[in-house]
Chain A
Amino acid sequence: MAWNSFNTAGSDGMTASVITIPGANGDQIHAYTARPEGKGPFPGVVLVHHMPGWDEIYREFTRRFAQHGYNAVCPDLYCRLGHGRPDEVTEKMRAAGGIADQQVVDDCVAAATFLKALPTSSGKVGIIGTCSGGRHAMVVGSKSKEFSAIGDLWGGGVVMQTSDLNPKRPVAPIDMTKDVNAPVLGIFGNDDKSPTPEQVNQHEAELKKHGKTYEFHRYDGAGHGFFYYHRPAYRAEAATDGWEKVFAFFAKHLS
């Protein structure tokens, strides 16, 4: 359903709350979930939060997906680091040297398992993330077959130098491209410095080389994080069009 195209006669309530799910290694982690009222069946979406943390914008994104007819869940990837304001927890994450890609994979698969077990589930689940979450969405979508659509929104670090690899991030996502298990949506700003337009082109070339289904959309006059209306990076026209692309893509591949 496109933005602002709901029928005013409809009932489009939702339930939203923080829950606990068993994540990587069986750790109990928090997740924010929003689910439409009604019997469904509804497709599901796992939202992978960005480096600024499990924050308010991601709670809004999660509710936006529910508003558009998806069972949505956003696991707190930093949950093991303790709690506090989102920026404080993010700082702990930086101090700890980041989180391991494999842990993110397992947390996101756990979130997908939660969605598929819901009585209103259609059985199909997509994954989407922005910033570091875009990169993580690519990693998860390459290592797991649980997802039917992948959204990478300005994911930095898909293309990595060998010197940037470490035990927590041992393989560059672009080198996992042959294993990508679902269609990919990419949304990028041409003024972004990570990923740069050249890195976006590299990513696209790799997807094409391996015969993957994908669609990339690039926006002039936009940089990193141009959906974030609470930050100066916001670009209203590009963000509005980008959201339309997101919902069209997930409707196509999760219906």
Chain B
Amino acid sequence: MCTNIATNVLLTGSARMATGWTKIGEARMSFDHATHIWVDHALRINFVDLSDESASHVAVELDLVSGRALLRGLAEVLDAAEATDLG
């Protein structure tokens, strides 16, 4: 099914591609038809350089379980960082 489940988050960061590092300004997230991994639907995250969308972006596609695992891992790391006042 076409879910239309999607959201965008502005962010400040960099991502590494085969050609080197690039700035990223937005994460575009959706849970919709998978393109590459062998599941019907997937969490898709595309980190985009808003100043050069067509050339600079890094995309990942994860199944639902992996997306949840990533979310837990991110929360664990960020909670630890905030707890030590490193943010």
Contacts and interface: CB of A to CB of B under 8 A. Distances in A.
A and B bind = yes
Interface of A: 50-52, 82-84, 87-88, 91-92, 94-95, 98, 131-132, 154, 156-157, 192-194, 223-225, 231-233
A50 B2 contact: yes
A223 B2 CA distance: 12
B12 interface: no
Interface residues of B, number: 21
Contacts of A224: 1, 40
A192 B59 CA distance: 27
A88 B53 CA distance: 10
A91 B46 contact: yes
14 contacts: A50-B2, A51-B2, A51-B33, A94-B32, A95-B6, A95-B8, A156-B2, A194-B1, A194-B2, A194-B3, A224-B40, A225-B33, A231-B33, A232-B40
B1 to A, nearest CB: 3
A156 B1 contact: yes
B54 A91 contact: no
B28 A91 contact: yes
Interface in B27-55: 28, 30, 32-35, 38-40, 44, 46, 53-54
Nearest to A224: B1
Main secondary structure of the interface of A (DSSP, over half): loop
B19 interface: no
A98 B4 CA distance: 8
Interface in B50-73: 53-54, 57, 59
A95 B28 contact: yes
- 6 closest cross-chain pairs (CB), A and B: A194-B1, A51-B2, A94-B6, A87-B35, A132-B2, A224-B1
Nearest to A196: B1
Contacts of A87: 35, 59
Contacts of A51: 2, 32-33
A192 B1 contact: yes
Contact of B2 (A82, A83, A95, A157): A157
B2 A233 contact: no
A131 to B, nearest CB: 5
Contacts of A92: 53
